[in-house]
Amino acid sequence: MRRHERRGADVTTHLLLEELRRQRMEGRRLLDIGGGIGVISAELPDTGVANVTMVEASPAYLAVVRRVVESKYGSRPTQFILGDFEAIADTLPNADVVTLDRVVCCYPDGEVLLKEAAGRARQLLAFTYPRDR
């Protein structure tokens, strides 16, 4: 998070954020899957996102996110859920916008993950996949 605060989002995440900012985000519900330290969630409060739900499998990352992101949304609802998205997807509400920033490549079954994520997206599914170098 300190690196992000000093230099901003890395190139891939920056591209995703640019595309999200081109969309009308005002009043939309955001579901950020595997959000890590919360860069996507932390960068979008000024777009008018109505609320954010973040699902993350790492308790350490979730602790950082809660500390950094919650205050940025003020009175708008924020929810931080610890768990494997695929395992708990059926318990989550749908969202207007669903994001996965470099999650698909690290997940054991990326195809199943994307299907579950798409099933939760009412309007937009946005994901990144790093290039194989």
What pLDDT score does 47 carry? 95
Q: Which residue from 81, 36, 77 is spatially nearest to 55, judged by alpha carbons?
A: 81
Q: Which residues contact 124 (CB under 8 A, 6 or more apart)?
A: 23, 96, 97, 98
User: Coil, helix or strand for 12?
Assistant: helix
Q: Is the pLDDT of residue 131 over 80?
A: no
Neighbours of 80 (CB within 10 A): 20
| Mean pLDDT across the chain | 90
- Does residue 60 contact residue 35 with C-beta atoms inside 8 Å? no
More confident of the two residues 132 and 14: 14
- Higher-confidence residue of 65 and 11: namely 65
The residue that leads in pLDDT, 132 or 44, is: 44
pLDDT of residue 29: 97
| Percent over 70 (pLDDT), the chain | 92
pLDDT tens digit string along 40-55? 998 999 999 999 999 9
Confidence (pLDDT) at 24:
94
For 75-91, what is the mean pLDDT?
94
Contact between 119 and 31 under an 8 Å Cβ cutoff? The reply is no
Q: What is the dihedral of CA 127, 116, 88, 47, to 10 degrees?
A: 40
What band does 4 get if pLDDT is binned at 50, 70 and 90? low
Neighbours of 101 (CB within 10 A): 24
With the CA atoms of 33, 70, 42 and 34 taken in that order, what torsion angle do they form, in degrees rounded to the nearest 10?
-20
Q: pTM of the full predicted structure?
A: 0.91
Q: d(Cα 5, Cα 68) in Å, to the nearest integer?
A: 11
